Structure 1
Amino acid sequence: MTTYAALSQRLQELHGRTAETPLFNPVFQLAHNLSRELEDGGITLDDIEALIAELEVAALGERAAKLENTVAPIAGDANAAALSETLQTSDFAEFRKSWERPQLHAVFTAHPTFLLTPAQSDAVARQASGGAPVDDSCVGGERPQVTLAFEHQRAMRAIANAQEARSKIVAQLLSHAREHWPDSWTELEPLPFRFASWVGYDMDGRTDITWSNSIGFRLSEKAERLARYVATLEHIDGDHPLLAELRPAATYAEERARDFAADLSDPAALSVAANRLTASDPRKLLSLSRYIDALEAEAKDCADGERAVALKTLAAAMRADGLGMGWIHFRVNAKQLHNAIRRRIDPEGNLDLASKGAVVHLNRAISELQPRRSNFGALAIEASTAIRQFIAMAQILAHIDADAPIRMLIAECEEPATVLAALYFAKLFGIEDKVDVSPLFETESALEHGGRFLDELLAEPIYQDYARKRGRVAIQTGFSDAGRFVGQIPASLAIERLQGRLAEAIAENGLTDVAALIFNTHGESMGRGAHPTKMADRLDWALSPWSKRRFARAGITLEPEVSFQGGDGYLWFSTPELARAMLTRIAVLRPAETDLDVPKDQFYVRTDLSLDFYRAVKEHQREHLESRTYSRAITAFGLGLLNATGSRVSRRQSDLSADREMSLRQIRAIPHNAILQQLGYPVNVIAGLGHAAEGKYEEIGALLTESARGRELVRLVRAANALASVKTVAAYGELFNSAYWASRPYRGTEAHLTEACEALSEYLVKDDRVGVFRRLASRLRVDAMKLHRLLAFVPDETPTEHREDKRRMIGVLQALRIALFQAMFIRAVSVPAFSRANDVSRDDVLEMVFTLRIDEALAQLRRAYPTQFPRIDRFDLTEPTDWPDGSDEGYEAIHRDFIDPIERAYGLSLRVSTAIANVFGAHG
């Protein structure tokens, strides 16, 4: 069994045996077969590596195909034709209204999803863009460390492609207007998309990003954007007079970026860099308004229509992005703001920020506040993270870009006082007219009480004045943590209701003259709120037609915003062709608009059914989350199933007992979802729907079938279920089955493994993991049977293409990894016993291996069995010695036979993790 075809065929045969033996596990049996061949010498780790490489290429090809299918067509002329078909020609005023406000704000975030190496990302993007298929040249190499600088560079590359794609769309809109309204087309100021990023500005949950990182990144973005403006204008006219100002401005920004990329820990060095930035300089640009006006005026008077379009396209880019690659989002945690505001208005700690009194107190403090000046010295010495962010924003607005507003996102924001605290600091540093404070609703509590929060906040006169000054009310809703805590289906429905409550609160408080900006942060996987079936579903999942109609009926302008997270999200913009295809699909679907003249969706009419259904799914998901069985199974391998995929590394527990008691709340949303993928069952997407329909399958099935929203829910669940395998979940538990290890050398088979299997059996006889996985698999199976009965009443609108091929590919990958784990277990237990050293015993090392803390285990084994010794011949001594006699220098064999194979097997298992994620379509 040295080819994928052979393994796939064998797995299919093994599946046939489940008909006669329902408890038979094909995945574990295939793993056992592979393990026996490996231990007998029938196959080697080289053979397994070749198999994995073959599957890696196939999985990358699957991902490329999914990417292409989602945004097809890819060709530029096809996208131009697709957009052209949607452009109306009758009314210029309506045309302007349609295209002079963003259909979507796209935010390029740095969530840890940089699973693919740059070579793999490029190979996937190349195939998806119509180029050469993925080949094996991009697999098996070293994974580069994912640093903050790397994340920022990838984000900027994605935004650059998005900018070029947007400019092509803008140029097409302008050409269309010039053709149909030749006398007035130059009045058009297209702005179909805005772009933003929080890479380098997101301080929620991390302390490794310094203020100088943020300033340095913003300056480098300014330099890059100015250079791109210069290149665009040079292409239009190499002798354009504005180049004499824009070229030096780009050079100046690049110089300042280098200043702030240096080590500024020395006050003297900081003083030099800061003084250069704050000093007057004819090359220093803080606004592009004069250049935009000049380009627009030139276009209006230009007889050459194509040149006029090009000039206005450049002006549109400047209007959209300002002096940066896009807008920026700072993010802090509510607790950071609470600590900061207490220092200012409640140093004794007597004020309850959840109370009405706190709101009254903050209102008074804000109204009496006098703005304070700040400088880079104040920024350098400020200890509070939250205050430091506001000072950094003040410096950016004062010295880098005075026009582009800045978003301040507040994570875990559950009280109106938290938003007012942010307004306090914005006013304190004189930037309240340029900062959009945006609370994040993502936890179960925040979603449950978010309506009350919005009612109270929007009723505050001081907030109303601020919203009118900014022209928008901004909120953020998150699908990742919400999907983790209440399940993806209930999370989506809860977020939808919260969005509806925002529309009500805006209307009830007379704020319909301001826009509602709703930032929906989701990932690329179905477990993080990205609908996998088609682009229309993907956009509707984050902001449903029902939600949009609530704003439209109230006369509220809607500004939808979504995230493209990390390496997964940047793939959509990894080539100019993909970026244009993605933006064209969005432009054609027009997510900022909705049709009011549609029949009522029965999902919202039959609330007697839909609300009960929602609550039952939510309750089922909660039971999983609070279940010791679920928690133990998900944390059985710690985070060892996963590659490092971001600059914010997930922190492992420092002691073994803590690993056994690891809480799911210690695992962030993306790793949690990724572990579910790797164990073979996206619990937080699938679980609970079958249970919720029990006893009324036909009635619930009819409701879901009649409802557009209901069918969308079902399409998501079917997509996840098509890749899920309860048998795989159970297979991982069998690794810890003492009876399996005791029986393996039974009747004289594998006699050479007798000692190892006996030791494993004895060690695992008290281990709880086999029972945990079996109980979880049983619970999932019962619910899956009920789900199957429900789905029988709902037509399958988008059957997964090549479903069985994908399932077998995942099954083979899982079997290969379980075989590798068995190899690791056997070798770990076969290492000769060593004396306790540094308070670590042999049993401790075994537990490290069983929880996939392989790096730690290998470090201990190498410490116990070194291959490098102090050499006596390095000393120049006159007295002779017969010691050492060389008897200690025999550990190379232990490394060769045990330590090195464990390391290699684990490395191969992580390559399997990447391949599985690619078949699922994203990491986590």
Structure 2
Amino acid sequence: MTLKTVSELTERLQSLHKRTEETPLFNPVFQLSLDLSRLLESGEMTLFDCDRLIAELECDALAARAERLRNLVAPVTPSANDAALRHDFAEDDFAAFRKRWESPQLHAVFTAHPTFLLSPNQTEAVAKAASSDDAIDESVCTATSERPQITLSHEHAEAMKAIANAQDARDRIVSQVLTHAQQEWPQEWSDLAPLPFRFASWVGYDMDGRTDITWANSIGFRLAEKAQRLGRYVATLEEIDANHPLLRELQPAAAYAADRAHDFAADLSDPAALSVAANRLTANDPRQVLSLKRHIDALETEAKDCGGERGVRLKTLAAAMRADGLGMGWIHFRVNSKQLHNAIRRRLDPDSQIDLSSKGAIVHLRKAIEQVEPLKSNFAALAIESSTAIRQFLAMAQILQHVDADTPIRMLIAECEEPATVLAALYFAKLFGIQDKVDISPLFETENALEHGGRFLDALLEEDIYRDYARQRGRVAIQTGFSDAGRFVGQIPASLAIERLQGRLARAMEQNGLTDVAALIFDTHGESMGRGAHPTSFADRLAWPLSPWSRRRFVRAGIRLEPEVSFQGGDGYLFFDTPELALATLTRIAQIRPAETDPDAPKDPFYRRTDLSLDFYRAIRDHQRDHLESRTYSRAITAFGLGMLNSTGSRVSRRQSDLSADREMSLRQIRAIPHNAILQQLGYPVNVIAGIGSAADGNYEDLAALLRESERGRQLIRLARAANALASVKTVAAYGELFNSAYWASRPYRGTESHLTAPCGALAEYLIKDDRIGVFRRLASRLRVDALKLHRLLAMVPNENPLEDRENVRRAIGVSQALRLALFQHMFIRAVSIPLFSRANDISREDVLEMIFTLRVDDALVELRRAFPTSFPKIDDFDLTQPTDFPDRGDEGYEAIRRDFIDPIDKAHQLSLRITTTIANHFGAHG
């Protein structure tokens, strides 16, 4: 049997699949991995052959990802998008045109969750291939997979690059809008102030779950962003008029901001160093610019006077300034509610007498807010502050006072489940005199927050002091998250629960007389089906987190809606990696108009037939909860720890308080993105698919009829189909077989692999008591029962968006999985074959084996290389006069052990991580 090419592996997998007809329990994926393992262990295949196969699989996956990216935002050529936008200018009068283009259709937030999966070269290759109408060829495969260390600074630089491309694309759209208005309404066009998009970032400002971002980092990043944005304004104005009088102010301001950014990039731990940097920033300097209002007015006045192309260009620049201010966009600070609770107790309740979940706490905070007098603060106060939450407010105060006085700042509060938490944030905003510039936004993401969020909003919006604050800001801001929500209640129940919460916000605003302010709803959905974003189209992607039903609640109440979504990390930034993709992405959004909806659209039957839809939602949620609380599910998902995954960001994948837990992990120790990524790698996106089939059991016909008739229902099914098209229960079961003692004991049976008798016997003996084979089998059985019911339901609902080349994609994933399983077996066999003796006797063989079995391979390699050194002192290294007869044998060397055992484990592990990237690319994102 020759399995030297991917096509041969694919043919073999196809033939093995046919055997399931006669033997249902037969596992084609695991059998192919055994075929490959036998070739590998016999020497007929080498790790270099595996490298070549993986390179071909990588190539196909990168091409598939580029094709998927292009299809989502097509057309991608600038001329096609210019034409699409012109075709969309259909309003009959200036008032309607103005209404459409003067309010943001979307706030786009460039976040940096750990999704930097691709190397810079791969990112560039995928984006370039997706940026034209040309056929995607092998040029996408030339990129190397070597990635730099992903630091916070790297993430920030990538975010700024994406935002810069987004700004240029927005400028192009704004220029077209203004040109059209100038042609159609020559007497009125100069009154138009386009603002179709806002951009923001929390990279460098998000303190939730991490302690590695200092306040100086945040100030330094904000100053660097100011310098970059001023530099871009200068470059734009120089292109319009190299002698423009405003350049005499903006050019020195850009240089000044760059100097101050350099100051704050230094080590400021020494009070003397901080004093110098702070005094330079806070000193009265004619180069310091804190507001662009005067510059915007000057550009607008000149544009009105001169008209023509120059007028359009000047107004386009003014529009950019109005949107972004003195930075690359708005910024989002984020803290955890516990951090705020600790801070407010220290300030108002040092003896912990107040229950923050009680009405008494709200009364207490209401009085405190009414009575608080603003305090001045400086950088010394910021430097000595120990409370994370107070430190964030102090940092915001310094930014508003010394960097940008006009641009609002968002304060996101994670795990916010009490109205008192929002009032605590409002207290600190008022304490430091910044309540008129800070939008406090609670995050609803946990099951408890989503379930009780309606009552939370009712209680908060009933407070006069909060309503006064909301009117001062002009908006009520909330955040709904799909990462933890999707992990703990499942993606579909999370989306439906978030939708209901959004409806409750509309009702609460209407009942409390807040229809005169906007509703800013930040949905932090991600890029893959596993993190809340819909994979089938950009229209679905935007409607998934903020459905037409939710939007109608606000439109009918007369509340202006400001939708906001995240583009997360390397996956999200791909949409803006080239000018062509950025323009295509923003043009699609402008055409879809996510801030609008038809208030008179017929009611979707999904919301009318709540007897069916609510039961459907609850049944899926309960099924997902059963998985989450199940020892079986938890043990299977954590069986390999995080060893299947590449490092994809500067934030740790395990919660920092749990780093000492090694042998067993709780699902709550793993963050949401790695959790979803593990599901991808095991072959079954449980938190997307599981429970849908079981929820339909006993009521298939009625439920299928509802889903067919409902747009929201069909959208749910499109998501499920997209996930199911890539899912394989057999693959989940195959990973369990790695821990099957009987498999290892039987493998050399009848002399087929007699050279493996000793290592297979050792593995069989070691794994006799291991529980993972049973865990995976139980999980696979449960998933299979549910999947059978899902397939019955899907057969009753038309497939609106079939995955092109579905079977080839499934086979490519299957081959990748089989090859990785063979590499894992190679590591296991090599690990148990290492000699028992070593130069260092303080190492436990069992510990090293368990490290390999849980894919803590890097840790295991450190121990093995310490135990079997290849470089150590020799007798001939010493120049001694006294003779010696010992050692009487040649000095033992461990080069052969390194070559035959340790290095192959290392190489196999590195190859397996490349397969991780390959599989994630077929899913369209990491996690």
TM-score normalised by the chain length of structure 2: 0.98
Tell whether 2:425 aligns with 1:426. Answer: no
Aligned equivalents of 1:883, 1:153: Cα separation in 2: 60
Alpha-carbon distance, 1:880 to partner: 2.6
Distance change >3 Å, CA 441–CA 603, structure 1 → 2 = same
Aligned equivalents of 1:888, 1:263: Cα separation in 2: 49
Task: Give the match for residue 846 of structure 1.
Answer: 849
Tell whether 2:499 aligns with 1:496. Answer: yes
Matches within 5 A, 1:901-916: 901-916=904-919
**Contact (CA 8 Å) 1:60, 1:134: kept in 2 or not?**
no
Distance change >3 Å, CA 135–CA 778, structure 1 → 2 = same
Residue 381 (structure 2) aligned to one of 378, 381, 391: 378
Task: Give the match for residue 119 of structure 2.
Answer: 117
Aligned equivalents of 1:580, 1:625: Cα separation in 2: 41
Residue 703 (structure 2) aligned to one of 700, 703, 706: 700
**Contact (CA 8 Å) 1:217, 1:257: kept in 2 or not?**
yes
Q: Deviations over 1:804-854 (max 9, x none)?
A: 010000000000000000000000000011369686410110000000000
Alpha-carbon distance, 1:73 to partner: 0.2
Tell whether 2:61 aligns with 1:59. Answer: yes
**Contact (CA 8 Å) 1:512, 1:556: kept in 2 or not?**
yes
Alpha-carbon distance, 1:405 to partner: 0.2
SS in 2 for 1:85: helix
Aligned equivalents of 1:762, 1:653: Cα separation in 2: 35
Task: Give the match for residue 237 of structure 1.
Answer: 241
Aligned equivalents of 2:102, 2:818: Cα separation in 1: 54
Q: Deviations over 1:188-230 (max 9, x none)?
A: 0000000000000000000000111000000000000000000
**Contact (CA 8 Å) 1:835, 1:841: kept in 2 or not?**
no
Point out the more displaced range, 374-383 or 872-881: 872-881
Tell whether 2:309 aligns with 1:309. Answer: no
Q: Deviations over 1:654-676 (max 9, x none)?
A: 99994443110001100000000
Point out the more displaced range, 674-683 or 869-878: 869-878
Residue 524 (structure 1) aligned to one of 524, 527, 532: 527
Tell whether 2:91 aligns with 1:86. Answer: no
Tell whether 2:268 aligns with 1:282. Answer: no
Residue 515 (structure 1) aligned to one of 493, 518, 531: 518
Alpha-carbon distance, 1:54 to partner: 0.7
**Contact (CA 8 Å) 1:54, 1:136: kept in 2 or not?**
no
Tell whether 2:17 aligns with 1:18. Answer: no
**Contact (CA 8 Å) 1:331, 1:409: kept in 2 or not?**
yes
Task: Give the match for residue 261 of structure 1.
Answer: 265
Aligned equivalents of 1:89, 1:619: Cα separation in 2: 47
Alpha-carbon distance, 1:874 to partner: 4.2
SS in 1 for 2:88: coil
Task: Give the match for residue 203 of structure 1.
Answer: 207
Alpha-carbon distance, 1:81 to partner: 1.3
**Contact (CA 8 Å) 2:121, 2:144: kept in 1 or not?**
no
Distance change >3 Å, CA 758–CA 13, structure 1 → 2 = same
Tell whether 2:50 aligns with 1:48. Answer: yes
Aligned equivalents of 1:345, 1:642: Cα separation in 2: 45
Aligned equivalents of 1:50, 1:212: Cα separation in 2: 46
Q: Deviations over 1:123-176 (max 9, x none)?
A: 000000026645476455432110000000000000000000000000000011
Aligned equivalents of 1:835, 1:156: Cα separation in 2: 51
Alpha-carbon distance, 1:265 to partner: 0.8
SS in 2 for 1:277: helix
Task: Give the match for residue 218 of structure 1.
Answer: 222
Tell whether 2:544 aligns with 1:575. Answer: no
Structure 1 segments, 4+ long, off by >6 Å, are 652-657
Matches within 5 A, 1:250-399: 250-303=254-307, 305-399=308-402
Letter in structure 1 aligned against 2:113: H
Task: Give the match for residue 668 of structure 1.
Answer: 671
Tell whether 2:575 aligns with 1:565. Answer: no
Q: Deviations over 1:557-595 (max 9, x none)?
A: 100000000000000000000000000000001000000
Structure 2: state its 5+ residue gaps.
none
Q: Deviations over 1:351-395 (max 9, x none)?
A: 111111111000101110011111111111110000000000000
Letter in structure 1 aligned against 2:813: I
SS in 2 for 1:475: strand
Structure 1: state its 5+ residue gaps.
none
**Contact (CA 8 Å) 2:209, 2:656: kept in 1 or not?**
no
Aligned equivalents of 2:62, 2:128: Cα separation in 1: 11
Q: Deviations over 1:273-320 (max 9, x none)?
A: 0000000111100000111000000000004x1110000000000000
Residue 755 (structure 1) aligned to one of 748, 755, 758: 758
Alpha-carbon distance, 1:882 to partner: 3.4
Aligned equivalents of 1:208, 1:884: Cα separation in 2: 51
Task: Give the match for residue 152 of structure 2.
Answer: 148
SS in 1 for 2:544: helix
Task: Give the match for residue 623 of structure 1.
Answer: 626
Matches within 5 A, 1:722-871: 722-834=725-837, 840-871=843-874
Point out the more displaced range, 791-800 or 647-656: 647-656
Aligned equivalents of 1:896, 1:94: Cα separation in 2: 73
**Contact (CA 8 Å) 1:656, 1:848: kept in 2 or not?**
no
Distance change >3 Å, CA 396–CA 657, structure 1 → 2 = closer
Aligned equivalents of 1:915, 1:867: Cα separation in 2: 34
Task: Give the match for residue 538 of structure 1.
Answer: 541
Task: Give the match for residue 7 of structure 2.
Answer: 5
Letter in structure 1 aligned against 2:63: G
Letter in structure 2 aligned against 1:181: W
Task: Give the match for residue 485 of structure 1.
Answer: 488
Alpha-carbon distance, 1:88 to partner: 2.5
Alpha-carbon distance, 1:736 to partner: 0.5
Letter in structure 2 aligned against 1:222: K
Residue 449 (structure 2) aligned to one of 446, 451, 459: 446
Aligned equivalents of 1:104, 1:137: Cα separation in 2: 34
Task: Give the match for residue 601 of structure 2.
Answer: 598
Q: Deviations over 1:435-487 (max 9, x none)?
A: 00000000000000000000000000110110000000000000111000000
SS in 1 for 2:13: helix
SS in 2 for 1:542: coil
Aligned equivalents of 1:838, 1:416: Cα separation in 2: 58
**Contact (CA 8 Å) 1:653, 1:659: kept in 2 or not?**
no
Aligned equivalents of 1:273, 1:167: Cα separation in 2: 35
Alpha-carbon distance, 1:890 to partner: 1.8
Q: Deviations over 1:5-25 (max 9, x none)?
A: 111111111111111111110
**Contact (CA 8 Å) 2:735, 2:821: kept in 1 or not?**
yes
Aligned equivalents of 1:47, 1:727: Cα separation in 2: 26
Distance change >3 Å, CA 735–CA 657, structure 1 → 2 = farther
SS in 1 for 2:206: coil
TM-score normalised by the chain length of structure 1: 0.99
Aligned equivalents of 1:395, 1:658: Cα separation in 2: 39
Aligned equivalents of 1:784, 1:212: Cα separation in 2: 51
Aligned equivalents of 2:753, 2:109: Cα separation in 1: 56
**Contact (CA 8 Å) 1:722, 1:803: kept in 2 or not?**
yes
Point out the more displaced range, 633-642 or 657-666: 657-666
SS in 2 for 1:151: helix
Letter in structure 2 aligned against 1:460: E
Report sequence identity in percent: 76
Letter in structure 1 aligned against 2:189: W
Aligned equivalents of 1:212, 1:657: Cα separation in 2: 29
Task: Give the match for residue 36 of structure 1.
Answer: 38
**Contact (CA 8 Å) 2:527, 2:925: kept in 1 or not?**
yes
**Contact (CA 8 Å) 1:53, 1:136: kept in 2 or not?**
no
SS in 1 for 2:750: helix
